Amino acid sequence: MARPIWKGHISFGLVSIPITLYSAEKRFDLHFKLLDSRDKAKIRYSRINEVTGEEVPWDRIVKGYEYDDDKYVLIDDEEFKKVAVEATRTIEIEDFVDNDSIDHVYFDKPYFVVPDKKSRKGYVLLREVLRKSGKVGIARVVIHTREYLSALFVMGDVMVLELLRFEQEIRNPEEFELPGGSLSDYKVTKKEVELAEKLVEAMTVKWQPEKYQDQYRSELMEWIQKKAGAGGLEAPPESGEEPGEEEGGKVIDMMELLKKSVEGKGGGGGKSRAKTTASRKKKTSGAGKKTG
């Protein structure tokens, strides 16, 4: 069972709904220890006092904000909560916006919003209003001493609170040299656009998230298990050459590539990836027979 991250209320107008936030993510990262290559002992991080050179226990560590050179204001956990008690316990919806009006670059981290068992009416009311109106609630929430902008939307029977990045946290695309102007400036023809549209259409399927798995993690875990089973004596497989940058002066026939892709209904799609994966596994299997 997932652990609750935050408890409080959702507030819009005069309606207050007791809720609990649970992380919507499940992490499957592979965790590696840092070891000394000489004796395989684990590397330990220490909290060292830079003046005395001694290690500091956790119960003696406090948080401090440096407001001047080497001058700090110390703040403990209770003081963090006292700064804005209501803000730390309430998700107050400030505005409602259209569901598709938020650019994807603003989305950061999702949480499932679960109602208190005794106060489900308000939850259902807000959920159905959001669903029927196609709106998203914009609110602020304080989690772990930091305030976040957030978007409240509906996914099936659950409401999701998605933490958003603030405007100042997004880089301005104008910082980069991006191709502007008309298609003709880049010698993109109408026929190439039509072929590209056909390719997109041929590769378009219904969104099925379960179809996409972390292949790299699976293959890395498989290799770790093989190496462990062989006593760690096997050498990792030689990787293929990484695709490099285009050679200077080389002309790419975009039209020909598009034609071949459309004829193959997306040559760079699932079939090609499947072949690549199979080929990689074959190489891995072959490398696994070597010892030394």
Higher pLDDT, 220 or 181: 181
Cα angle 142, 146, 149 (rounded to 5 degrees) comes to 60
For 116-142, what is each residue's pLDDT tens digit? 988 899 999 999 999 999 999 999 998
CATH number of 4-28+82-169: 2.40.290.10
pLDDT band of residue 78 (cuts 50, 70, 90) is: confident
The domains of the chain are located at 4-28+82-169, 183-236+253-288
Alpha helices (H) along 143-214: 190-203
Note the pLDDT of residue 39: 81
Q: Which residue bears the tokens 């191709």?
A: 179
Enter the pTM of the model: 0.66
Note the pLDDT of residue 44: 84
Note the pLDDT of residue 282: 52
Q: d(Cα 7, Cα 88) in Å, to the nearest integer? A: 9
* Mean of pLDDT values over 50-71: 87
233 has pLDDT over 70? no
* Mean of pLDDT values over 162-181: 91
Note the pLDDT of residue 86: 60
Q: d(Cα 169, Cα 232) in Å, to the nearest integer? A: 44
Tell me the backbone φ, ψ of residue 229, rounded to 5 degrees.
-65, -25
pLDDT band of residue 288 (cuts 50, 70, 90) is: very low
* Mean of pLDDT values over 13-41: 83
